[in-house]
Chain A
Amino acid sequence: MRTISYHNQKDDVKYSFAVGKIRAMETRLLDGLLFKRLIDSKDTREMGRLLVETSYGDLFKEGAASADFEALLNAELKRTYQLIKDIDPDPASACNLLALHYDFHNLKVLLKLRQSPSEADSFLINLGLYGPEAIRQMVTSSDYSPLPLNLAKAISSLVTELEKSSPPSQWIDIQLDHILYTYLIRQAEHLNNKFLITLFRFQIDLINIRTLLRVKQMEKEASFLQSVLLEGGEISKEKMLSFLEEPNDKLISSLNFAPYAQVIKEGINYYEKEKSLALFERLADNFFIQYIGQAKYIAFGVEPLISYILTKENETKNLRIVFVGKQNSLPKNIVEERLREIYA
Chain B
Amino acid sequence: MSNRLNLSATRSNLLRIKEELEFAREGYELLEQKREVLVAEVIGMLESLRKSKKEVEEILNKAYRSFEQTSVILGMKKVSQITLAACSREKIQVSDRSIMGVVIPIVNYSRENMLCNIYGFQGTSASLDKTVHLFCSSLKKLAKLAELEVSLIRLATELKKTQRRANALNYLFIPQYSETIKYLENTLEEKERQELFQLKRAKNIHHKNN
Whether A associates with B in a native complex is yes
CB contacts between A and B, total, < 8 Å: 103
CB distance from A167 to the nearest CB of B (A): 10
Q: Are A324 and B84 in contact (CB under 8 A)?
A: no
CB distance from B140 to the nearest CB of A (A): 17
Q: Are B126 and A276 in contact (CB under 8 A)?
A: yes
Distance, CA A67 to CA B68, complexed state (A): 16
Tell me which residues across on chain A come within 8 A of B129, comparing CB atoms. 214, 217-218
Residue of A nearest to B67 (CB): A328
A136: Cβ under 8 A from any B Cβ = no
Instruction: From known contacts A170-B119, A228-B120, A281-B126, infer whether A123 and B69 are also in contact, taking CB-CB under 8 Å.
Output: no
B76: Cβ under 8 A from any A Cβ = yes
A277: Cβ under 8 A from any B Cβ = yes
Q: Are B120 and A170 in contact (CB under 8 A)?
A: yes
Tell me which residues across on chain A come within 8 A of B87, comparing CB atoms. 168-169
Q: Are A330 and B121 in contact (CB under 8 A)?
A: no
Tell me which residues across on chain B come within 8 A of A321, comparing CB atoms. 72-73
Q: Are B120 and A278 in contact (CB under 8 A)?
A: no
Distance, CA A101 to CA B120, complexed state (A): 14
Q: Are A113 and B84 in contact (CB under 8 A)?
A: yes
Q: Are A334 and B120 in contact (CB under 8 A)?
A: no
Of residues B84, B87, B121, which shows the largest number of chain A Cβ atoms within 10 Å of its Cβ?
Answer: B121
Q: Are B86 and A324 in contact (CB under 8 A)?
A: no
Distance, CA A132 to CA B86, complexed state (A): 22
8 Å CB interface, B122-180 against A: 122-123, 125-127, 129-130
Instruction: From known contacts A277-B127, A335-B72, infer whether A228 and B121 are also in contact, taking CB-CB under 8 Å.
Output: yes
Q: Are A109 and B127 in contact (CB under 8 A)?
A: no
Listed in ascending order, the chain B residues whose CB lies under 8 Å from chain A are 68-69, 71-73, 75-78, 80-81, 84-87, 113-114, 116-123, 125-127, 129-130
Contacts A174-B121, A277-B127, A338-B72 aside, 7 further interface pairs with beta carbons under 8 A come to A105-B123, A108-B81, A113-B85, A123-B81, A168-B117, A276-B130, A330-B72
- Sampled A-B contacts (18; CB under 8 Å): A105-B81, A109-B81, A113-B84, A122-B80, A123-B80, A169-B84, A173-B122, A174-B120, A180-B122, A211-B121, A215-B121, A218-B114, A276-B127, A277-B125, A277-B126, A281-B126, A321-B73, A338-B72
